[in-house]
Structure 1
Amino acid sequence: MSQQTVLVIDDERDIRELLTITLGRMDLRVDAVGTVTEARRALAEHSYDLCFTDMRLPDGNGQEVIELIATSHPDTPVAMITAYGNVDAAVNALKAGAFDFVSKPVDIQMLRQLVRTALKLAEEKRSDHVAAKSGGTGDRLVGDSPAMQQVRSTITKLARNQAPVYIAGESGVGKELVARLIHEQGPRAGGPFVPVNCGAIPSELMESEFFGHRKGSFTGAVNDKEGLFQAAHGGTLFLDEVAELPLHMQVKLLRAIQEKAVRAIGGRDEIPVDVRILSATHKNLGALVELGQFRQDLFYRINVIELCVPPLRERRGDVPLLAAFILRQLAAKSGAAAGQLQPAAQRALEEYDFPGNVRELENILERAMAMCDGDTIDAIDLMLPQRTQRAGAGAASEAPATPHAVAPPAAATGDGGLDDYISNLERTAIVKALEESRYNKTAAAKKLGITFRALRYKLKKLGID
């Protein structure tokens, strides 16, 4: 294999020499130049496995170099060298297509790690252009709609760099799956993927959870503990529901992202961490910034690139594919035959608005498989709420009544209340049927119009003794 080469563009001779020596010790050949003109000439004459460029150059700026490489040499990762604390320059570089950035003074350990990651990315892109991997996303990110094709295409592009990505979308659309795919298609795939629900961590424990603590640093700290940043070292940290972070934690998180280092509670030294940050929330983060509930500087730092995942009601054509996929998954788990949707059931799903998106579809189909006879799912087995609001419609539409449910009040269809509401309906109906049949389960199942197997499943799920 030929020796890998790196192009260094910086008008400071000390920086050029430092990078040349450091990269040379990693068995890399280095070409070092000091101007944009020299960089253009070098790029025209040679191909490089990696490029470093300073932001300010005598005859231009590093942004020109990044844009040139992104256009003419898309397989070559490029990292920006920025002045200490110059976050705006780093963010602009990432938006222009830079793989990552290095702050002056250069931390040699972090530099070596960045180089290893970048060269791994370059090797992957030259062997199969990463795009070959995107076929795998169809196995899990289901849908042929233009919206989903765009999401898959964007995931492939985002996997090629290290820019922080903000994944926007309603609850249940699959934001964590999107984050996992970005991780799995990139050079960090061999490293850990660490998801954390920011809303599930008590405020007083957040600093310890994110950065770790030393034994004896506070009451109850009986051992040293590694934080989430350290656990994600070399991989990806996914901050789900990032809008739930309290303001004091937002400050600490911003510093950790900017400095690429953390300090454990009770620790004296900062620990370098190599982590890519992906974040998500179902809330409008921009609106929270306007209200002063989310720091603007952190918002700009994590929202270098935004990826919007569409709600299910905006891609109704994907519902049959998704339903078939989910039914196959349920069958694989249970060992039974995959459920088959009757035409009326499929139409009902395609017309439903899915306020809970894909997650709600999964719940509906799992419930339907328990309630149906055999493996045939009728519309009545879906037990959809009786009033649905079509996207853009001015009034609710009535659905045919079923013996299993009555029209819920508007509040019952709100986010988070739908499952509880339906469970209460089921519990009431089942208890009534049991009482009327003197607790003969076979007779109760017949009254309810479901199989004995379905009744047993519901009794266990609802905790009815």
Structure 2
Amino acid sequence: MPGLLIVEDNEDVRRQLGWGLSKEPFDVFLAATVDEALAVQREHRPEVVTLDLGLPPEPEGVTEGFRCLDALLEQDPLAQIIVVTGHHDVQNALRAVQAGAYDFSRKPVNLAELKVIIRRAFFLRGLRGVQREAPTGDGQCCGIVARCRAMRAVFTTIEKVAASDAPVLITGESGTGKELVARAIHNLSRRNKMSLVVVNCGAIPDNLLEAEFFGYEKGAFTGATQRVQGKVEYADKGTLFLDEIGELPINLQVKTLRFLQEMVIQRVGGRSDIPVNARIVAATSRDIAEGIRTGSFREDLYYRIGVVTIALPALRQREDDVLLLAEHFLARFASEQGARYVGFAPAAEAAMRRYPWPGNVRELENKVRRAVIFSTGKRIMPVDLGLDATASADPPPRRYDGTLKEARNALEREMVLAALGKHAGNIVQASLSIGVSRPTFYDLLKKHGIET
């Protein structure tokens, strides 16, 4: 059973709290001094602690309380510590939160209010326990961290499809983790001793794609001074991951389809058929059905690559995974920076829950990395994440004056600028994020006089 440690030097208050919380679904331990508290923590490892800052030998000060806070967190960085402080001593309570406390409660203690804070603390400790202690398949799958129902279904599909050589198409918004899923499929497959070769179809100039894919012979074109193998050939006996396949030009779609049908290629400038045994995994953030309708994507290629389709949910659809992932990233980046961060302040958790995460898991990862760099306390605050602690998840509707055409142009320009800013000027990612092709995005830049 989980445990709660009450650290309180006043015997009457200590007993009252112990009695009032004795019927809750956790064991209650009592301590009156710093040494007693540390001894209980070493023996019983309580997940949550309530800590009175005024402890002997200086019950009227806070020195011993802060010493106890630091020592408890030193022994167990995951402990959720709730500081109990005087009604007018909010400054020290906030200082304690910055030092690593989870939350605070004022004296005289309101038992009902304290119970709510304690339950939330146990819930958060449970999330951290899943992230740090869960075995593969229960919260994680080959490096993918999740616990929501939608992602558990994805885990099941990954495990089933990995055992076969069936082509897989992974769909989902930008930043949802499509490459992680591709790597999980490869790592769980019988091809995992061979290479996973990644080709980003949207990041290679059209005139270089064929040579990049299939390689070329010496003298095939100006500058081809030697024979070069292509990505497909390097994937022989392994896995070929075609990222953003929706960006593949039509002429190369034809040659890719021939390779998938016959499992042979010809290098640029070559005439010999080269057999290649590679498992194909593709991914796209584009609407392939719309591409088929408009003629920008071949229907027969779609049926070849989409024998099994895995649709990844957006982060805003993944229930409690936001905090789970945030804890995962915080532990990683804090370790890289050599910093000791205990967790997120309640206000930061609330801000992350409200935020719609248009950039999905990649945006969350970047914001937590930013927080580790800019935070000055031991608990991450909303400002460290670049989030507004009071913002609503749904921004107010914008109003435009003038004609409908002017309003459309204003919104168009705004979306293009936002996409460029979000993706640090990367044209490929910016165009994908607003659902247009690269040529169309360049046309929009020109139309609105935007320089990159």
Q: Normalising by structure 1, report the TM-score.
A: 0.56
Q: In the alignment, which residue of structure 2 is the partner of 1:295?
A: 298
**Quick one: distance in 1 between partners of 2:417 and 2:355?**
12
Q: Could you tell me how far 1:411 is from its partner in structure 2?
A: 3.6
Q: In the alignment, which residue of structure 2 is the partner of 1:116?
A: none
**Quick one: distance in 2 between partners of 1:361 and 1:277?**
29
Q: In the alignment, which residue of structure 1 is the partner of 2:174?
A: 171
- Three-state SS of the structure 2 residue aligned to 1:300 is helix
Q: Could you tell me how far 1:216 is from its partner in structure 2?
A: 1.1
Q: In the alignment, which residue of structure 1 is the partner of 2:58?
A: none
**Quick one: distance in 2 between partners of 1:166 and 1:196?**
14
Q: In the alignment, which residue of structure 1 is the partner of 2:263?
A: 260
- Three-state SS of the structure 2 residue aligned to 1:361 is helix
Q: Could you tell me how far 1:135 is from its partner in structure 2?
A: 6.0
**Structure 1 residues 382 and 136: alpha-carbon distance in aligned structure 2, compared to 1, 3 A threshold:** closer
Q: In the alignment, which residue of structure 1 is the partner of 2:99?
A: none
For 1:268, the aligned partner's letter is R
- Equivalent residues in 2 for 1:11-30 (5 A)? none
**Quick one: distance in 2 between partners of 1:140 and 1:207?**
32
Q: Give yes or no for contact 1:356–1:415 (8 Å, CA) kept in 2.
A: no
Q: Could you tell me how far 1:415 is from its partner in structure 2?
A: 4.0
**Structure 1 residues 344 and 386: alpha-carbon distance in aligned structure 2, compared to 1, 3 A threshold:** closer
Q: Could you tell me how far 1:368 is from its partner in structure 2?
A: 1.3
Relative contact order higher in (CA < 8 Å, ≥ 6 apart): 2
Q: Could you tell me how far 1:182 is from its partner in structure 2?
A: 0.5
**Quick one: distance in 2 between partners of 1:361 and 1:155?**
23
**Quick one: distance in 2 between partners of 1:137 and 1:222?**
47
**Quick one: distance in 1 between partners of 2:145 and 2:242?**
23
Q: Could you tell me how far 1:367 is from its partner in structure 2?
A: 1.1
**Quick one: distance in 2 between partners of 1:223 and 1:135?**
50
Q: 1:245 and 2:248 equivalent? A: yes
Q: 1:374 and 2:377 equivalent? A: yes
Match of 2:361 among 358, 361, 364: 358
Q: Could you tell me how far 1:303 is from its partner in structure 2?
A: 1.0
**Quick one: distance in 2 between partners of 1:352 and 1:135?**
26
Residues 198-231 of structure 1: CA distance to partner in whole angstroms, max 9, x if unpaired?
Answer: 0111111111111111111111001110011111
**Quick one: distance in 2 between partners of 1:193 and 1:309?**
21
**Structure 1 residues 389 and 201: alpha-carbon distance in aligned structure 2, compared to 1, 3 A threshold:** farther
- Three-state SS of the structure 1 residue aligned to 2:216 is coil
**Structure 1 residues 301 and 226: alpha-carbon distance in aligned structure 2, compared to 1, 3 A threshold:** same
Q: Give yes or no for contact 1:412–1:418 (8 Å, CA) kept in 2.
A: no
Q: Give yes or no for contact 1:389–1:396 (8 Å, CA) kept in 2.
A: no
Q: Give yes or no for contact 1:160–1:187 (8 Å, CA) kept in 2.
A: yes
Match of 2:146 among 133, 143, 146: 143
Q: Give yes or no for contact 2:264–2:276 (8 Å, CA) kept in 1.
A: yes
Quote the sequence identity (%): 43
Q: In the alignment, which residue of structure 1 is the partner of 2:340?
A: 337
Q: Could you tell me how far 1:320 is from its partner in structure 2?
A: 1.1
Q: In the alignment, which residue of structure 2 is the partner of 1:42?
A: none
Structure 2: runs of 5 or more not aligned: 1-134, 399-412, 426-452
**Structure 1 residues 384 and 411: alpha-carbon distance in aligned structure 2, compared to 1, 3 A threshold:** farther
- Equivalent residues in 2 for 1:199-278 (5 A)? 199-278=202-281
Q: In the alignment, which residue of structure 1 is the partner of 2:421?
A: 417
Taking only aligned residues, the RMSD between alpha carbons, in angstroms, comes to: 2.5
**Quick one: distance in 1 between partners of 2:395 and 2:375?**
34
Match of 2:164 among 158, 161, 168: 161
Q: Give yes or no for contact 1:133–1:185 (8 Å, CA) kept in 2.
A: no
- Three-state SS of the structure 1 residue aligned to 2:241 is strand
Residues 343-380 of structure 1: CA distance to partner in whole angstroms, max 9, x if unpaired?
Answer: 11011001110000000001111111122113321112
Q: How many residues align?
A: 277
Q: Could you tell me how far 1:325 is from its partner in structure 2?
A: 0.4
Q: Normalising by structure 2, report the TM-score.
A: 0.58
Q: 1:279 and 2:282 equivalent? A: yes
For 1:301, the aligned partner's letter is R
Residues 215-249 of structure 1: CA distance to partner in whole angstroms, max 9, x if unpaired?
Answer: 11111001110011111011100000101111111
Residues 111-136 of structure 1: CA distance to partner in whole angstroms, max 9, x if unpaired?
Answer: xxxxxxxxxxxxxxxxxxxxx97469
Q: Give yes or no for contact 2:139–2:146 (8 Å, CA) kept in 1.
A: no
Q: Give yes or no for contact 1:355–1:415 (8 Å, CA) kept in 2.
A: no
**Quick one: distance in 1 between partners of 2:294 and 2:387?**
37
For 2:422, the aligned partner's letter is L
**Quick one: distance in 2 between partners of 1:202 and 1:412?**
21
